[in-house]
C-alpha cells in the first residue's frame, strides 16, 4: 500500500517527469526550483540545471530559497552572469526546457506575473517578468507549474508578461519569436494541461488521482475541450522519501498530508 | 571620464556625497536576497538624496528602502521581490498608488540594455518580449524605450531594439576590491559586470580589501578593472541582511522583520527606518542593532557548509 | 543542438572527421603567434577537408596553412599576419591572385558578430568602420554584410549593423579542459569566448586534461562550460610553434622556417607541408620533427620567466 | 655633450611624449608598443596601458614581439578578451589615447593598412585593419607613428582602413563617429605633424633636429602648408639608456646609430 501524499507533492513529482535525463533546463524560482531539483536527484542525474543567475550544471543542495542562494550554485561547472544564462544559453537556443510559475495563465498558456487590473491603474501589482518572459520566449519546451484555482486561469490574462501561444496556433510565429511552436505543459494539483498545436489552446491531458475533468473545468476560467485524458501516476514511496528528506526536508515549499 | 589608478578607499558617507546626486539614475547591484549594496543604500537614505531613478534586473530590499523612504521617482527593472520572503511591498504600494513611474522589462532585456551601455553602443537588439504586453502596452503608453524593426537580413523577422542603459552611478557590494578599485565578485554576478561598465560613476563596497599585488598575481580573477570604479568602501557585512556568497548567508530573521514593517507601511515602517537607518551614524551601528555577534557566527558557519 | 555532459575526449583525427566538413565555416582560435589551434589545423590538412570559410579576428599561421594547402575558399576577418614574423604570405598571395574571397572587418566588428551569434541575436550594432572603405567599398561591391541605419533614438546618428557570425565549427587550443568539455583559457582570450558560444560545434585541444571535480571546485575560473563543446583533444604543445600562455613561448625558429617557405610558395612550401604535415601521422610526429626536447625545455623555461 | 642617437630612436621618444601620466592608452602592435612601453617606464608610470588582446594596465616586460606575447600581459590587473578591450574600453569611450602604425597616411590622417592598388584587384595586399580602425574611430587622441617616406604619404589613401578626418574638418562628424574631433598626431623620423582642426588636414608642428620643412615636404606626397614649427627636443642620456637597455635591449625594433 502506497504512502499517503498530498496533491501538491504529486504536482511536483509529475512536473519533474517532464524533464528527461540529459536535458538542459532553465529553471525559475519557487516550485520550478523544487521540481527540477527533484528531477536531478531522481531520474535525471545528467540534466544540466541552469539558473538565471548564471550557474551552469550545479549539483544543488536541498531547499534553496532563492536563485541567489549558495545552494543552487553548489559545485556548478561555471558561475556566470544573468547575461550568460539568459542570453548565452537561453536566447542562444540551448535550453531544451524552461520551467516557470505564474500568477495568471490563460487559454493560450500566456502568463501574467505583472498586474491584476489595468496596467496603468493596477489593482494588485506583482513582481513582474524577471526571467520568466525570457524563459517562455526562447525554450523548446515550456513547463508551467501552479496551483489550480479559477482566478489563476482567466480567459485572457490581464497582462501578458510571458508568451504562450498568444492568440492562436501561429501567434508566436507572427510575433517573431525564435521558438514558434514549443510544447507547453501546465502542471497543477488537479491536472496536466498541454497546448494543442492545432488550436494554440490548452487542453487537459492527464488528471490527478480521483480528480474528474468536471472538477478541473469548474476550477478553470476558460473553456476546456472534452477529450481523452490519462491518469497521473501516483508517486512511489522512494519518490516521496526523496522529496521529503532531500529536496524539501523542511517542508518550506510543500505540505505533507496531515 | 576616465578613472585613474589612484587610492579610492573612502567611507560610504564620502562616496555617496561625491557620487550620488539628486535626480541620479542609480544602478542597483545584487539580486533578491543576495549581495545587495545595503551599506551604501543606507547612506543614501541618511543623506536624503532624492528623485532617484533605480535601475537593475531584479530590484530588491535596497530598492524597496529607497522607495519606502520617498527618495525614488522611477524604476526600470525586470522584477521587484525577495522571492520566498515576499514581494517588495513599498514598491508595490507606490505603483498601486501611482506615485512611482515604472518601466517594465524582462531580466534579459535589462541586461541587454546594460550590455549596450558597456560597449558604447546606443542600443541592443533583443528577441525577448515579442508578442507580449511588456512591449505592446508600454508602446501604447507612448514609452520611447521600445522599437520593433525588421531584421535587415530577414525581413520576416521582427527584432526588438532597446536603448542603452547608462546609470549615473552604480552601487554594488563585492567580496573583494583593492584600493585602486579592481573588483572581484565571486559566485553569481547578476547584471553587475555590464551595469558597472556602463556607468559614469561606480561605488563598490567590499567585504575585504586586498592588495593590488594580489590582484596582479591573478589577473584572470578580476571581475571589473579599476578604470570603471570611483570609490571603494570597506564594509564587512555590507550586504546584510542579504547574503554575500562565500562569506555569510542571508538572515531570514531580519528579512522577515523588514517585511513585517514594509507590508503595512505607515508607522511600523517609519519606525524601522528610524531605528535601523536614520538613528545609525553608519552601517556598523546598524549591524550592532540588527544582529548579534553570535548570530553573525551562525550565518558565516552556515555559508561555509554550502561551499 | 544541445551538447551533453558525456565524455568527449577523442583524437584530433576523430574530432575532425566528425565535426569538420567540406564547405564548413570554421572559427579559428588564437591570435598572431599565440595559442593557434595548430594540431587540429594539421589534421584538417591531412584529411583534406576543403572549401572552407575561415573566420576570426586576427587569422594567423593556422589560416595561412589552410589557404596554402588549397582548402579555403573564403576568409572573414580583421587581419592576417604574424606581427613581427611578417604577414600571412599564402593568404596575401591568394588575395592578390584573386583565388580567395575575402570580407574585411575591424577586430571589434568581428568580435561583435560573434557576440551576436553567442546571444542568439541576428545582428549586432557597431560604431566602428564608419566613414571608411571597409564599409563603403564592400557595400559598393554588393556585400550583404553591412547596413547603416539611423539610431532610432537620435536620427542624426548613423549606426552600423553587422550580421551574426555563427561558425559551423570552431577550433581552439586551451590550457585546460575536462572530459565533459569545460574549458579554461588563461591569459588573453581573443574572440574565443564569444566565437565558441556562437558555434554549432566546437573542437578544443588542450595542454592538460583536468578532472571535472577540479572544475567544480573553481567554477569562477571556467571560461566556457561544456554545453558549448563537442570534442576534447588532449594535445600538449598543440599550439606549437605559437605560444600557449603559462606553458611555453612561441618558437621564433620554426616560425621563421615556416615563413621562409610560405613567402616564396611553390616547391619550398609543398616541401614544408609534406615534411611537417602530410608525412606525419599525427601532431606528436610533427613535434618530433619540428622541435627537439632540449628546445622544448628552453621554451617552457622562457615562459616561466614571464609569469 | 649628448650621446649620438638615431632619428628612429628620437621618433619613438618623441611619440612617447604625447602620452601623459595617468592616460588610458590603447596600444597597437609594433612601434606603438615600443613607444608606449617607453612612456610607461620613463614619465608615465601611472598610465593604463591597454592591449587589444584584453590586458589592462600590465607592467610590461622588455620587447614584446606580439600583442599575444606574455610580456605585454605581465602583472596586468585583468586579463580579458578582444571584446573587453576594443568594445568595453575603446568603443565605450574610455581611451584617452590610441596609438597605431600604418602603411599609408594621407593629408586627412586617414590610414591605409589594407591594400595598395584597387581593392578588387590588389597590387599588394596588407594585413588589414586589425584593431587599427577601432583605435582610430573611438579614441579622444590618436597617435600614428611611421617612418617618413614619400610613398607612405599619398594625397589620398588607396583604401581608408582607419579614419582620420576623412575629407575635411567635419568628415568624422558627418560619418557618425562618436569621437568627431580628436587630436591626431603623426610622428615620424623627420617631423611631427598634427591635424589642423580648421581644415581637417595635417600640418607640420615640429621638426627633428637638423631636418628642414623643405625636406619634410620633399618626402611627403601631399601638400603641407607653411607655418611655424618647433624643434623636437633631443633625447636625454637617461632616455637613451632606458630605451636601449630596458625597452628594446635586443634592438629588435630600433637601430642605434652606427
Residues in chain B: 307
Question: Which chain A residues have a beta carbon less than 8 Å from that of C219?
Answer: 55-56, 73, 75-79
pLDDT for res D258: 66
pLDDT for res D95: 97
User: How near does any CA of chain A get to the CA of B205, in Å?
Assistant: 19
Read off the pLDDT of residues A148-204 as tens digits, 9 standing for 90 and up. 999 999 999 999 999 999 999 999 999 999 999 999 999 999 999 999 999 999 999
Q: Worst-scoring range by mean pLDDT, A106-110, D1-5, D191-195?
A: D1-5
| pLDDT-derived band at C251, boundaries 50, 70, 90 | very high
User: Which subunits have 3 or more CB–CB pairs within 8 Å of chain C?
Assistant: A, B, D
Read off the pLDDT of residues B150-165 as tens digits, 9 standing for 90 and up. 999 998 899 999 999 9
Burial pattern D207-219, b for ≥16 Cβ within 10 A else e, equals: bbeebeeeebbeb
First to last CA, chain B: 39
User: How near does any CA of chain D get to the CA of C250, in Å?
Assistant: 8
Domain CATH for C206 = 3.40.1080.10
Using the Cα atoms of residue A32, residue A38, residue A44 and residue A47 in order, give the sign of their dihedral. positive
* Nearest residue of chain B to residue C145 (CA atoms): B153
Co-location of C128 and C237 in the same domain: no
pLDDT of C2 above 80: no
Q: Which residues contact B100 (CB under 8 A, 6 or more apart)?
A: B67, B72, B73, B74, B75, B91, B94
Co-location of B46 and B176 in the same domain: yes
User: Does C125 contact B127 at a Cβ distance shorter than 8 Å?
Assistant: no
* Nearest-10 Cα torsion for B9, B14, B16, B18: -100
pLDDT for res D102: 81
Domain that holds residue B178: 12-104+166-306
CB atoms within 10 A of CB C167: 25
pTM of this structure: 0.98
Q: What is the fold, at CATH topology level, of the domain defined by A7-247?
A: Glutaconate Coenzyme A-transferase (3.40.1080)
Would you say C235 and C283 are in contact if contact means Cβ atoms under 8 Å apart?
Answer: yes
Q: How far apart are CA D170 and CA D111, in angstroms?
A: 17
pLDDT of C221 above 70: yes
User: How near does any CA of chain A get to the CA of C189, in Å?
Assistant: 16
The number of domains in chain C is 2
Q: How far apart are CA B271 and CA B273, in angstroms?
A: 5
Q: Strand, coil or helix: what is C175?
A: strand
Q: Which residues contact C270 (CB under 8 A, 6 or more apart)?
A: none
Q: Percent of chain B, pLDDT > 90?
A: 98
Co-location of C199 and C276 in the same domain: yes
| pLDDT-derived band at D1, boundaries 50, 70, 90 | very low
Q: How far apart are CA B184 and CA D46, in angstroms?
A: 21
Co-location of C85 and C205 in the same domain: yes
Read off the pLDDT of residues D90-123 as tens digits, 9 standing for 90 and up. 999 999 999 999 889 999 999 999 999 999 999 9
Co-location of C171 and C293 in the same domain: yes
Residues of A annotated as catalytic are: 52
Q: How far apart are CA C83 and CA C63, in angstroms?
A: 14
Report the pLDDT averaged over residues B217-236: 97
User: Does A81 contact B115 at a Cβ distance shorter than 8 Å?
Assistant: no
Read off the pLDDT of residues B73-125 as tens digits, 9 standing for 90 and up. 999 999 999 999 999 999 999 999 999 999 999 999 999 999 999 999 999 99
Domain for residue C233, yes or no? Answer: yes
Q: Return mean pLDDT, chain D.
A: 95
* Nearest-10 Cα torsion for A89, A91, A96, A100: 100
User: Does C2 contact A77 at a Cβ distance shorter than 8 Å?
Assistant: no
User: How near does any CA of chain B get to the CA of A202, in Å?
Assistant: 18
Co-location of C171 and C296 in the same domain: yes
> ipTM of this model?
0.98
Co-location of B151 and B290 in the same domain: no
pLDDT for res A1: 42
* B114, B138, B163 - which closes a domain: B163
Q: Percent of chain B, pLDDT > 70?
A: 99
User: Does A87 contact C227 at a Cβ distance shorter than 8 Å?
Assistant: no
Domain for residue B234, yes or no? Answer: yes
Q: Percent of chain C, pLDDT > 90?
A: 98
Q: Strand, coil or helix: what is D203?
A: strand
Report the pLDDT averaged over residues B242-254: 98
Size of interface B-D (CB pairs under 8 A): 66
Q: What are the CA-CA distances from residue A252 to residues A244, B90, B248, C262 (Å)?
A: 10, 25, 21, 68
| pLDDT-derived band at A99, boundaries 50, 70, 90 | very high
Q: Which residues contact B231 (CB under 8 A, 6 or more apart)?
A: B8, B10, B14, B15, B18, B19, B181, B201, B202, B203, B204
Domain for residue B110, yes or no? Answer: no
Q: Give the residue with greater pLDDT, D258 vs B147.
A: B147
Q: Strand, coil or helix: what is A195?
A: strand
Read off the pLDDT of residues D33-91 as tens digits, 9 standing for 90 and up. 999 999 999 999 999 999 999 999 999 998 898 999 999 999 999 999 999 999 999 99
D52 flagged as catalytic: yes
User: Does C123 contact B125 at a Cβ distance shorter than 8 Å?
Assistant: yes
| pLDDT-derived band at B1, boundaries 50, 70, 90 | low
**Exactly one of D9, D14, D52, D239 is catalytic; which is it?**
D52
Co-location of C173 and C296 in the same domain: yes
Co-location of B81 and B228 in the same domain: yes
Would you say A107 and A184 are in contact if contact means Cβ atoms under 8 Å apart?
Answer: no
| pLDDT-derived band at C304, boundaries 50, 70, 90 | very high
Read off the pLDDT of residues D135-158 as tens digits, 9 standing for 90 and up. 999 999 999 999 999 999 999 999
Q: How far apart are CA B229 and CA B169, in angstroms?
A: 10
Co-location of C223 and C185 in the same domain: yes
Co-location of B186 and B265 in the same domain: yes
Read off the pLDDT of residues B252-291 as tens digits, 9 standing for 90 and up. 999 999 999 999 999 999 999 999 999 999 999 999 999 9
Q: How far apart are CA A218 and CA A220, in angstroms?
A: 6
* Nearest residue of chain C to residue B115 (CA atoms): C115
pLDDT of D220 above 90: yes
User: Which subunits have 3 or more CB–CB pairs within 8 Å of chain D?
Assistant: B, C
User: Does A94 contact C222 at a Cβ distance shorter than 8 Å?
Assistant: no
Domain for residue C113, yes or no? Answer: no
pLDDT for res D252: 86
User: Does D78 contact B182 at a Cβ distance shorter than 8 Å?
Assistant: yes
Co-location of C87 and C203 in the same domain: yes
* Nearest residue of chain A to residue B96 (CA atoms): A122
Amino acid at each position: 500500500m502506497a504512502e499517503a501524499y498530498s496533491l501538491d507533492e504529486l504536482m511536483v513529482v509529475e512536473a519533474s517527469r517532464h524533464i528527461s535525463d540529459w536535458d538542459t533546463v532553465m529553471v525559475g524560482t519557487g516550485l520550478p526550483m523544487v521540481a527540477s531539483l527533484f528531477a536531478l536527484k531522481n531520474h535525471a542525474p545528467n540534466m544540466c540545471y541552469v539558473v538565471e543567475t548564471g550557474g551552469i550544471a550545479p549539483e544543488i543542495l536541498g531547499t534553496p530559497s532563492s536563485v541567489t542562494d549558495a545552494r543552487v550554485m553548489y559545485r556548478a561547472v561555471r558561475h556566470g552572469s544573468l547575461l550568460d544564462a539568459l542570453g548565452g544559453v537561453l536566447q542562444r537556443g540551448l535550453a531544451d526546457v524552461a520551467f516557470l510559475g505564474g500568477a495568471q495563465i490563460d487559454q493560450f498558456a500566456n502568463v501574467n506575473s505583472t498586474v491584476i487590473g489595468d496596467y496603468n491603474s493596477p489593482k494588485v501589482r506583482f513582481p513582474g517578468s524577471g526571467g520568466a518572459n525570457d524563459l517562455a520566449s526562447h525554450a523548446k519546451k515550456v513547463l508551467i507549474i501552479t496551483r489550480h484555482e479559477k482566478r489563476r486561469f482567466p480567459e485572457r490574462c490581464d497582462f501578458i508578461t510571458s508568451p504562450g501561444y498568444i492568440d492562436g496556433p501561429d501567434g508566436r510565429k507572427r510575433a517573431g519569436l525564435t521558438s514558434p511552436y514549443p510544447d507547453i505543459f501546465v502542471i497543477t494539483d488537479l491536472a496536466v494541461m498541454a497546448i494543442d498545436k492545432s488550436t494554440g489552446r490548452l487542453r487537459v491531458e492527464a488528471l490527478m488521482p480521483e480528480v474528474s475533468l468536471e472538477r478541473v473545468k469548474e476550477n478553470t476560467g476558460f473553456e476546456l475541450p472534452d477529450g481523452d485524458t490519462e491518469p497521473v501516476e501516483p508517486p512511489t514511496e522512494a519518490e516521496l522519501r526523496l522529496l521529503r528528506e532531500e529536496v524539501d526536508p523542511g517542508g518550506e515549499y510543500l505540505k505533507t498530508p496531515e | 571620464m576616465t578613472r585613474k589608478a589612484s587610492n579610492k578607499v573612502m567611507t560610504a558617507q564620502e562616496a555617496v556625497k561625491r557620487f550620488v546626486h539628486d535626480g541620479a539614475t542609480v544602478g542597483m547591484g545584487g539580486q533578491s536576497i543576495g549581495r545587495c549594496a545595503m551599506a551604501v543604500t543606507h547612506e543614501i537614505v541618511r543623506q536624503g538624496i532624492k528623485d532617484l531613478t533605480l535601475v537593475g534586473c531584479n530590484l530588491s530590499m535596497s530598492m524597496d528602502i529607497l522607495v519606502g523612504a520617498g527618495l525614488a521617482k522611477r524604476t526600470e527593472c525586470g522584477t521587484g521581490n525577495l522571492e520566498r520572503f515576499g514581494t517588495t511591498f513599498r514598491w508595490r504600494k507606490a505603483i498601486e498608488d501611482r506615485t512611482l513611474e515604472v518601466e517594465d522589462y524582462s531580466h534579459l532585456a535589462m541586461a541587454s540594455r546594460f550590455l549596450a551601455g558597456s560597449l558604447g553602443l546606443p542600443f541592443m537588439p533583443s528577441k525577448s518580449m515579442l508578442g507580449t504586453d511588456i512591449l505592446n502596452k508600454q508602446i501604447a503608453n507612448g514609452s520611447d524605450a521600445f522599437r520593433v524593426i525588421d531584421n535587415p537580413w530577414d525581413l520576416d523577422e521582427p527584432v526588438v531594439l532597446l536603448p542603452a542603459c547608462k546609470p549615473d552611478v552604480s552601487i554594488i557590494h563585492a567580496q573583494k576590491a583593492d584600493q585602486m578599485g579592481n573588483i572581484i565578485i565571486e559566485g553569481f554576478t547578476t547584471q553587475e559586470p555590464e551595469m558597472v561598465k556602463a556607468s559614469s560613476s561606480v561605488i563598490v563596497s567590499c567585504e575585504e580589501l586586498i592588495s593590488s599585488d594580489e590582484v596582479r598575481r591573478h589577473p584572470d580573477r578580476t571581475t571589473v578593472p579599476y578604470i570603471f570604479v570611483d570609490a571603494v568602501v570597506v564594509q564587512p557585512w555590507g550586504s546584510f541582511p542579504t547574503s554575500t556568497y562565500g562569506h555569510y548567508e542571508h538572515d531570514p530573521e531580519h528579512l522577515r522583520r523588514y517585511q513585517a514593517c514594509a507590508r503595512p507601511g505607515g508607522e511600523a515602517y517609519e519606525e524601522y527606518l528610524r531605528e535601523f537607518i536614520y538613528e545609525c551614524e553608519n552601517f556598523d551601528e546598524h549591524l550592532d542593532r540588527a544582529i548579534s555577534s553570535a548570530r553573525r557566527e551562525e550565518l558565516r558557519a552556515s555559508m561555509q557548509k554550502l561551499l
